[in-house]
Amino acid sequence: MPRARAKIRVADDRKTATIELKPLGQPGHLVDLTLNELDQLIDKLGNARSQMVKGHPIPPFERDEPPISVAANTKWTIRASPPEGVLFGFYHPKFGPVGLTLPKEEIVSIVGFLTNRFILQPAASPEKH
């Protein structure tokens, strides 16, 4: 399979994105996508990626690897489905709506961590000048 380069340009009116796929040494192919079509492509690429990584170990997150794509100040939702666990979903500016399911044991661990870190620890006292 030939290696290829991809370029993506968002139109000035932000209504379409043009993707150019160019196999090395060959002419490029341009495709214009609307936001909805781009979301569908991202979904299909995600499905392909999930098939490719199946059976590979998940990299450790305790270190600084791999880089995490952070979504700050976003909309989110939590949907409980006892006794299985919970769905945590949020809007990621790069990927659209994404989510993860967490089993009950992980929820207990997360709640314990957040309680210890933000509720049980005394707040820092203001410095006196």
Percentage of the chain surpassing pLDDT 90? 60
Alpha-carbon gap, residue 21 to 66, rounded angstroms:
26
Whats the size of the chain, residue-wise?
129
So where are the chain's domains? Answer: 1-58, 74-120
Q: Is the Cβ–Cβ distance between 42 and 96 less than 8 Å?
A: yes
- Tell me which residue has tokens 């781009």: 38
Q: What is the pLDDT of residue 50?
A: 94
pLDDT value at 6 more than 60 = yes
pTM: 0.72
